[in-house]
Amino acid sequence: MILKEKISAMLPEWRERVTKLLKEHGSVVVGDVTIKQVYGGMRGVKALVTDISYVDPNSGIRFRGHTIPEVLEKLPKPDGAEMPYVGGLYYLLLTGEFPTKEEAEAVEAEWAKNAEVPAHVFDVLRAMPKDTHPMALFSMAVLALQGESKFARRYAEGMNKFEYWDPALDDAMALTAKLPVVAAFIYRLKYKDGAEPKYDPNMDYGANFARMMGVDNPGYADLARLYFILHSDHESGNVSAHTMHLVGSALADPYYAFSAAMDGLAGPLHGLANQKALGFLMSIRDKFGGVPSQEQLREFLWDTLNSGQVIPGYGHAVLRVPDPRYVAQFEFAKKNFPDDELFRLVQLMYDTVPPVLQEQGKAKNPWPNVDAISGTLQYYYGVTEFDFYTVLFGVGRALGVTANYVWARALGQPIERPKSLTTAMLEEAAQKA
Ligand code: HAX
Residue-wise pLDDT tens digits, 239-279: 999 999 999 999 999 999 999 999 999 998 888 888 889 99
Every domain of the chain and the residues it spans: 283-380
The minimum-distance atom of ligand 1 relative to the CA of 370 is 48
Q: Answer yes or no: CATH 2.160.10.10 is held by domain 283-380.
A: no
Contacts of 75 (CB under 8 A, 6+ apart): 84, 85, 88, 89, 92, 98, 99, 104, 229
Angle at 233 between CA 228 and CA 238, to 5 degrees: 125
**DSSP code of residue 58:** T
Distance CA 286, CA 397 (A): 32
Catalytic amino acids? 270, 316, 371
Distance CA 275, CA 128 (A): 23
Mean pLDDT in residue range 309-334: 94
Distance CA 287, CA 231 (A): 31
Specify the pTM.
Answer: 0.95
Mean pLDDT in residue range 289-299: 97
β-partners of residue 55 are 61
In the reported structure, the alpha carbon of residue 268 is separated from the centroid of ligand 1 by a whole-number distance in angstroms of 13
The minimum-distance atom of ligand 1 relative to the CA of 277 is 44
**CB of 314 sitting under 6 A from ligand 1:** yes
Q: Are 125 and 185 in contact (CB under 8 A)?
A: yes
Tens of pLDDT, residue by residue over 359-416, are 999 999 999 999 999 999 999 999 999 999 999 999 999 999 999 999 999 999 999 9
Contacts of 51 (CB under 8 A, 6+ apart): 64, 96, 407
Pocket residue to mutate for ligand 1, from 364, 370, 389, 390, most atoms within 8 A of Cβ: 364
**CB of 313 sitting under 6 A from ligand 1:** yes
β-partners of residue 66 are 63
**CB of 315 sitting under 6 A from ligand 1:** yes
Tens of pLDDT, residue by residue over 163-217, are 999 999 999 999 999 999 999 999 999 999 999 999 999 999 999 999 999 998 9
In the reported structure, the alpha carbon of residue 276 is separated from the centroid of ligand 1 by a whole-number distance in angstroms of 13
Average pLDDT over all residues of the chain: 96
Q: Are 399 and 86 in contact (CB under 8 A)?
A: yes
Tell which phi-psi region holds residue 251, choosing left (phi > 0), alpha (psi between -120 and 50) or beta: left
Distance CA 328, CA 336 (A): 12
Mean pLDDT in residue range 306-321: 92
